[in-house]
Amino acid sequence: MHEFKYINKHLYCERVRVADLAKKFGTPLYVYSYHTLIDHFAKLKDAFRQVSPLICYSVKANSNLALLKALVNKGAGLDIVSGGELFRALRVGCPAKKIVYASVGKTDEEIEEAVKRGILFFNVESLPELENINRISGKLNKTTSVAIRINPDVEAKTHKFITTGKITNKFGIDLKSAYNILLLREKFRNIRISGLHIHIGSQITKSTPYLAAITRIVGFIGRLKKEGIELEYLNIGGGLGIIYDNEKPQTAVKYARKILPLLKKAGLKIIMEPGRFIAGNSGILVTRVLYVKNTPKKKFVIVDAGMNDLIRPALYGAYHQILPLCAERYTPNAAEKVDIVGPICESGDFFAKERRLPKLKEGDFLAVMGAGAYGFSMSSNYNSRRRAEEALVVKDKVFVIRKRESCRDLIRNELIPPFLSGW
The set of catalytic residues is: 345
Alpha carbons 66 and 82: distance in angstroms, whole number: 19
The dihedral over CA atoms of 135, 137, 138, 142, expressed in degrees to the nearest 10, equals -170
- Strand-pair category, 4-7 with 10-13: antiparallel
**What is the Cα–Cα distance from 133 to 129, expressed in whole angstroms?**
6
- From residue 125, alpha-carbon distances to 122, 144, 174, 248, 407 in Å are 9, 15, 10, 32, 40
Dump the DSSP string for 53-110.
-EEEEEGGG---HHHHHHHHHTT-EEEE-SHHHHHHHHHTT--GGGEEE--S---HHH
Q: How do strand 121-124 and strand 99-101 relate by DSSP bridges?
A: parallel
346-357 b/e (C-beta count within 10 Å ≥ 16 → b): eeebbbbeebeb
Q: 3-state secondary structure string, 130-179?
A: HHHHHHHHHHCCCCEEEEEEECCCCCCCCCHHHECCCCCCCCCECHHHHH
- State the DSSP H helix or E strand holding residue 398, giving kind and residue range, or none if neither: strand 397-402
CA–CA gap between residue 41 and residue 123 (Å, rounded): 22
Q: Are 274 and 58 in contact (CB under 8 A)?
A: yes
Q: How far is residue 29 from each of residues 12, 139, 352, 395, measured CA to CA in Å?
A: 14, 47, 18, 18
| DSSP line for 318-334 | ----EEESB-TT--GGG
Residue type, 341: V
* Amino acid at the residue 183: L
